Structure 1
Amino acid sequence: MSKILWKSLLLSPAILGATLVVSSSAIALEQPQQAEGQQDTAQAPATDYVVAITDNTDNTVEQNTTVSAQIINPSATQPQTVAVTQVSPAPITVAQATTAPVVPATAPEATSVESLDELNRYSNEGRGNVNSVAQVTSVSQLSDVQPTDWAFQALQSLVERYGVIAGYPDGTYRGNRAMTRYEFAAGLNAALDRVNELIAAGTADMVRREDLATLQRLQEEFAAELATLRGRVDALEAQTAELEANQFSTTTKLVGEAIVAVTDTFGDDVEDNTVLQNRVRLDFQTSFGGSDVLHTRLSTGNAQPFSFSAYNPAVTPFKTFEGTQTFNVSPNFENDVFVDWLAYDFPLFGQARGYIAAVGGIHSDYAATTNPYFEDYDGGRGALSTFAQQNPIYRIGGGAGAGLTLAFGGSGVLRPSSLTVGYLADNASDPALGAGLADGDYAALAQLNFNLGDRVALAATYVHGYHTTGNGIFDIGGSFDSSGQSAGPIVGTIQANNPSALLPTGDVPTVTNSYGVSAALRLSDRISLSGFGTYTNATLLGRGNGDIWTFGGGVAFPDLGKEGNLLGIFAGVEPTLRGLDAPGVVGFERDYGLHVEGFYRYQLTDNVSITPGVIWLSSPGQNNDNSDVVIGTLRTTFNF
């Protein structure tokens, strides 16, 4: 829009006066941009224009003095000077950009308007912009304007001699950003006021016939630009009116994801069939102030995890949660629609942020997981498995509650870092005894996250949890029973999730204290390393104690083969019960089983990706006697 507005500045005497003004972002030194819509190949590329007025004598313009209007463009190499007779009783300091190249007028740009971003900017102009401009009296007040800038002299003159330049409250000028219609109107108004002052101070014969002829010729030369401007403005207004009349909400946007996956298991003892599964999430993101977000997410799917039910007859019935994939995380497996996440993220004092979840909250919503490229919040663009996506410590508990993040650092070696605390309750909406916000399952988190330079991130995490009888540990707030039929644990073995099931006296409540570390190292823009480890001490109330371990690490190769692609390789040990000191427990297996995963996300289009991948599990059910399992998946993800 700014390109055509500048061209129109040469179409009348009043508009010529406006070229002496820069309001907020008026005379912008912008890099050439590709024209919106399709251009005819015979047309010159679209450019941005700035007009500088110079005289032909000694830095002043007296009455009846001929001056030059130069059309300045950063992408050209030779100036074009158009003679214009300027009459003024007051001297005007020369604002000549000798280092700035210029270009002749070009053919009109294409009038088609296809950019939704441009429509959004157009429709939002003037709606309570907090970045209001303020008049400045010295160019030194503009922190982002330097004496070496090609337009410095012009800005200095307009600020200090004529007082028609405004800056932003933070002391910046933002000369490289596009102006809005309101900013242009403010600048034009200031310029016209100054022109009126000059005319009022002059005589009746200030304007000569030759001046009018010159201006008429300029108007004819730029008639095509004016017609293009009218057409584009009309098109913008029509499309904006249509969008506003049919928009869903002025404060809400929809972010959706649909996953369709073909997957199967292979191994000597597995009996699962090849399945075609799906999961769909529709996240309505509402902002009331621009920096806050209310998430209202609907979810549905039918992607049940594999059971590996032939393993470990010592625990009957048996189900392991190893190899669970991200699209298996769903509140239901029957394609019923649920509100699976309702949460509000908002700014507080300073750099602090708050988080409140009414349903479906998990610790990774508000705490940094430090696992770049693999982490996608159980979406369809990261790792295949829930284990490779994030440290299982963030899977302990979930539901409703709140979190607080206090940011610190920001310069030198210590880059923006944070201290995070949070509390989530599994059954916060249940008023029964043993449930509710404080009397049922809960998990409290505290974490220190450090960013060292641009390439290193570290996190130290502690989670204290209470798990009532029949509820798993790594369950993100889902219920669990020994049959494994309800949505519950999503990572690790059944022994690690419910160690009290091994007691001869049956399940008891469990208290857990977990200590985790996570780290990420970006070797280059194309190679990233990350890893984690967590130890959990599980106290079986009145019965004994158990030790649970998990660790893993991976390497990611973003943009491999094509921008947007991702190759990921991850390996580790899912949560495994390594020790259990309790009366009557004998003979349970405590072997380590490896999880090795490889996947390659191919970005088919901006909205569609295809991810083939393989997960290999050794000693599933933490038992070396069990044969290995291989899970093969072809995942297609639609983001919109």
Structure 2
Amino acid sequence: MSNFRWNYRCLLLLLSLLDIIIFLVVYPAKSKAELPKSDASTVQIEVNKAPEAVINQTVETSIAPLSGKKATNNVTGQVTPVSQLLEVAPPTSKKAPNNAAGQATSVSQLSDVKPTDWAFQALQSLVERYGVITGYADGTFKGNRPLTRYEFAAGLNAALNRINELIGTSTTDLVKREDLDTLKKLQEEYSPELAQLRGRVDTLEARTAKLETTQFSTTTKLIGRAQIVLASVLAGNNVITKRPAAHNPTLQGLTSLRLNTSFNGKDSLGITLSGGSIESLGQAPPTPLNPTGGLLGTYEGRSADNASITFPRNQIILGGVRYRFLPLPNTQVNIYALSDGASEIGLSGPINPYFESSSATGANGISRFSRRSLVYNYGDSGAGIAILQGLGKQVQLGLAYSAPNGNNPTANNGFFKGRYLALAQLIYYSSNRNFRLAATYVNTYSPPNTIGFSGTNFGPAVGSNLINSTVPGAGTVGNLYGLQTFYQISPKLAIDAWVSYAAQRYLGHGDGDGMDWAVGLAFPDLFKEGALGGILVGMEPKMISLSKGVDLGAGAGQADKDTSLHVEAFYQYKISDNIEITPGLIWITAPNSDSGNPDSLFAWVRTLFRF
């Protein structure tokens, strides 16, 4: 028997209580020895309900209920002696909550009660013979709705008043002896269930009390992630020194903790702390302080799991502070003091879900390029605001403004006078959500001689060195255009693709054009339920043309002369719900878009722990 979820079962309980009261008043000598030691009423135990989902699918604000998986119906029983019920019951049924209507005189007045309902006869008797059931203002009985303690007390009080009225007017013959016998049998039949319920409630209350004394917070959920990565370059040269890159395997780690807090069930405050030692195999291009750049001298093939470029290794840093709320049912507002603007608006997650998932669950693709199109990568980390507006059930408009150096009050920085990114995106979803199409526009500006968290003044922080370079002492403006699509062909096969174009202007010098594209295939449940295979082929961002007056380091007017292809494959094997291991390979042809450089190949084995 479930924990008194249905009002119909409470009818049987009410009938049994009528039996007890009548026996006490009318037949005290015969019934006194037959009464159980206690009777039961129902009481609703309040739990922390999961907050309503916000608009974007990547937003994670749910708070797990304290009672765990077993508390599925939100209603338990609490044993209370009849004497206590009589003391706390309201004087009249008019005080019953939920806008109870006046006394129903016929079961036909209750529109949601049908003769085929299993408790119809019991309800009919209580309504038409005893007059102790009250309907709701809309003419319904709501038999499938959980019953509160107050509603039960009101119903019991009405029953007691009716019994007193019958006795007081000497009309006890209206209560037939056969009815009393039937009620007593029902009461005896359900006494084992009541005793069992009493034990279950005692256990639940003890567990709830223990949880309440040890819980971190009633509204905050802690999400932890730890990664261990084994990686090595298998082939390739440093594109600056033209010498073979070191082939030394490394074993590194990264940990992040996210606190998600909801204040009203429809909002989320997220705080992320992270730190680690993972060195990306494709890392920063050359700088005055590091003339040869990273291991390969280019951002091409840059891994996505690496530790922060701008902070010391294994230093715990504040990686994100953001607040999301719903001012209107179809409007989500994200305000972030420090976070990734493109990720905050949920742009690439919904378009490319198998290669980039939410930050709480961990991404799947190995490289940064496989997760995001060029159009999303100019924003860098920083402060900003993003708005997602639903336009019906199948269209969503996204607007965002992000300032990578918004926390810096010095010249050419700040929230409005420094580097910024303004974004607009329109997403179309098919009715069954298996097809998505997004068109994106970005306008971005970077003052001269400023550096963001990615280590560049301007650029996507992936692709060739030229696409990430600027003219010293000159500000840079970019207008970026992107088209992305995703199609779930079958439960075990999906395809995604994108193409992006960047029109860049180096103020006072000239213009340049950049581009990238990619096609990816995802294989959910490959070889095992919960596993995922992925293959992606594309051209990382490159400079396809450049004005004669612009020199980005390769000579005036010199753009990238060749095409470099990025080929990536990974297999994410699910060991358990909390552990995944993902081996993968990244192959770069003509690194730095120069056919004179031998191909690069490196292996990446990531083990992810969620807790």
What interval of TM-score do these two structures reach, taking the shorter chain for normalisation?
Answer: 0.7 to 0.9
2:27 maps to which residue? none
2:429 maps to which residue? 451
* Structure 1 stretch displaced more, 246-255 or 146-155: 146-155
1:422 maps to which residue? 400
Shift of 1:141: 12
| One-letter code aligned to 2:298 | T
CA contact (8 A) 1:363 1:394 kept: yes
2:413 maps to which residue? 435
Q: Aligned pair in 2 of structure 1 residues 176, 580: CA closer, same or farther (>3 Å)?
A: farther
Q: Aligned pair in 2 of structure 1 residues 481, 565: CA closer, same or farther (>3 Å)?
A: closer
2:567 maps to which residue? 596
Secondary structure of 1:116's counterpart equals coil
- CA displacement 1:572-607 (0-9 Å, x = unmatched): 111111122142534554321111111111111111
Q: Aligned pair in 2 of structure 1 residues 176, 600: CA closer, same or farther (>3 Å)?
A: farther
Residue 199 of structure 1 is aligned with which of 154, 163, 188? 163
* Structure 1 stretch displaced more, 145-154 or 445-454: 145-154
CA contact (8 A) 1:570 1:597 kept: yes
Shift of 1:306: 1.7
Instruction: Normalising by structure 2, report the TM-score.
Output: 0.74
CA contact (8 A) 1:119 1:240 kept: no
Secondary structure of 1:438's counterpart equals coil
Distance in 2 between residues matched to 1:420 and 1:120, nearest whole Å: 36
Instruction: Normalising by structure 1, report the TM-score.
Output: 0.71
Shift of 1:368: 3.0
- CA displacement 1:432-467 (0-9 Å, x = unmatched): 111111111111101111113222211111111112
Secondary structure of 2:366's counterpart equals coil
Shift of 1:226: 2.2
Kindly report which structure 2 residues correspond to 1:238-249, keeping only aligned pairs within 5 A, or say none.
238-249=206-217
Kindly report which structure 2 residues correspond to 1:77-88, keeping only aligned pairs within 5 A, or say none.
none
CA contact (8 A) 2:18 2:160 kept: no
Shift of 1:539: 0.7
Secondary structure of 1:266's counterpart equals strand
- CA displacement 1:471-503 (0-9 Å, x = unmatched): 57xxxx515259x9xxx96422221111x2xx5
Distance in 2 between residues matched to 1:275 and 1:440, nearest whole Å: 38
CA contact (8 A) 1:558 1:566 kept: yes
Residue 610 (str. 1) matches residue 581 (str. 2): yes
Shift of 1:240: 1.0
Q: Aligned pair in 2 of structure 1 residues 142, 155: CA closer, same or farther (>3 Å)?
A: farther
2:226 maps to which residue? 258
Distance in 2 between residues matched to 1:141 and 1:600, nearest whole Å: 62
Q: Aligned pair in 2 of structure 1 residues 223, 140: CA closer, same or farther (>3 Å)?
A: closer
Distance in 1 between residues matched to 2:586 and 2:526, nearest whole Å: 21
1:282 maps to which residue? 257
2:392 maps to which residue? 409
Distance in 2 between residues matched to 1:208 and 1:348, nearest whole Å: 59
2:370 maps to which residue? 388
Q: Aligned pair in 2 of structure 1 residues 165, 374: CA closer, same or farther (>3 Å)?
A: farther
Distance in 2 between residues matched to 1:209 and 1:159, nearest whole Å: 16
Shift of 1:337: 0.6
- CA displacement 1:86-136 (0-9 Å, x = unmatched): xxxxxxxxxxxxxxxxxxxxxxxxxxx9962446986999xxxxxx94547
Secondary structure of 2:233's counterpart equals strand
Residue 291 of structure 1 is aligned with which of 259, 266, 269? 266
Shift of 1:164: 3.6
Residue 492 (str. 1) matches residue 463 (str. 2): yes
Q: Aligned pair in 2 of structure 1 residues 316, 336: CA closer, same or farther (>3 Å)?
A: closer
Shift of 1:284: 0.4
Shift of 1:338: 0.9
Percent sequence identity is 34
CA contact (8 A) 2:324 2:334 kept: yes
Q: What runs of 5+ residues in structure 1 fail to find an aligned partner?
A: 19-112, 126-131
Q: Aligned pair in 2 of structure 1 residues 120, 248: CA closer, same or farther (>3 Å)?
A: farther
* Structure 1 stretch displaced more, 283-292 or 7-16: 7-16
| One-letter code aligned to 1:389 | R
Secondary structure of 1:328's counterpart equals coil
| One-letter code aligned to 1:306 | L
Q: What runs of 5+ residues in structure 2 fail to find an aligned partner?
A: 21-64, 78-96, 238-244
CA contact (8 A) 1:381 1:601 kept: no
CA contact (8 A) 1:512 1:539 kept: yes
Distance in 2 between residues matched to 1:367 and 1:518, nearest whole Å: 14
Shift of 1:366: 1.3
Distance in 2 between residues matched to 1:231 and 1:380, nearest whole Å: 42
Kindly report which structure 2 residues correspond to 1:150-165, keeping only aligned pairs within 5 A, or say none.
164-165=134-135
Q: Aligned pair in 2 of structure 1 residues 588, 536: CA closer, same or farther (>3 Å)?
A: closer
Residue 480 (str. 1) matches residue 458 (str. 2): no
Secondary structure of 2:227's counterpart equals strand
Residue 152 of structure 2 is aligned with which of 188, 211, 214? 188
Distance in 1 between residues matched to 2:307 and 2:121, nearest whole Å: 60
CA contact (8 A) 2:299 2:464 kept: yes
Q: Aligned pair in 2 of structure 1 residues 555, 17: CA closer, same or farther (>3 Å)?
A: farther
Distance in 2 between residues matched to 1:142 and 1:428, nearest whole Å: 62
* Structure 1 stretch displaced more, 392-401 or 133-142: 133-142
CA contact (8 A) 1:471 1:480 kept: no
CA contact (8 A) 1:451 1:457 kept: yes
CA contact (8 A) 1:259 1:637 kept: yes
CA contact (8 A) 1:549 1:578 kept: yes
Residue 581 (str. 1) matches residue 581 (str. 2): no
- CA displacement 1:495-532 (0-9 Å, x = unmatched): 1111x2xx5xx453211110011111121222221111
CA contact (8 A) 1:14 1:192 kept: no
Distance in 1 between residues matched to 2:172 and 2:390, nearest whole Å: 65
Q: Aligned pair in 2 of structure 1 residues 405, 216: CA closer, same or farther (>3 Å)?
A: same
CA contact (8 A) 1:252 1:287 kept: yes
Shift of 1:185: 2.3
Shift of 1:214: 5.1
Kindly report which structure 2 residues correspond to 1:369-388, keeping only aligned pairs within 5 A, or say none.
369=348, 370-377=351-358, 380-388=362-370
CA contact (8 A) 1:4 1:225 kept: no
1:39 maps to which residue? none
Q: Aligned pair in 2 of structure 1 residues 580, 136: CA closer, same or farther (>3 Å)?
A: farther
Q: Aligned pair in 2 of structure 1 residues 152, 3: CA closer, same or farther (>3 Å)?
A: closer
1:637 maps to which residue? 608
| One-letter code aligned to 1:251 | T
Q: Aligned pair in 2 of structure 1 residues 5, 512: CA closer, same or farther (>3 Å)?
A: closer
Kindly report which structure 2 residues correspond to 1:119-134, keeping only aligned pairs within 5 A, or say none.
133-134=98-99
Shift of 1:534: 0.8
Superposition CA RMSD, Å: 4.1
CA contact (8 A) 2:282 2:301 kept: no
Secondary structure of 1:306's counterpart equals coil
* Structure 1 stretch displaced more, 2-11 or 620-629: 2-11
Aligned length: 514
Distance in 2 between residues matched to 1:154 and 1:561, nearest whole Å: 55
| One-letter code aligned to 1:635 | R
Q: Aligned pair in 2 of structure 1 residues 350, 328: CA closer, same or farther (>3 Å)?
A: same
Shift of 1:405: 1.6
Q: Aligned pair in 2 of structure 1 residues 427, 222: CA closer, same or farther (>3 Å)?
A: same
Residue 566 (str. 1) matches residue 518 (str. 2): no
CA contact (8 A) 1:566 1:602 kept: yes
Residue 279 of structure 2 is aligned with which of 295, 301, 304? 304
| One-letter code aligned to 1:391 | S
Shift of 1:15: 5.1
Distance in 2 between residues matched to 1:351 and 1:159, nearest whole Å: 45
| One-letter code aligned to 1:548 | G
CA contact (8 A) 1:264 1:632 kept: yes
CA contact (8 A) 1:4 1:229 kept: no
| One-letter code aligned to 1:199 | I
CA contact (8 A) 1:253 1:286 kept: yes
1:626 maps to which residue? 597
Shift of 1:224: 3.3
Residue 205 of structure 2 is aligned with which of 214, 230, 237? 237
1:343 maps to which residue? 322
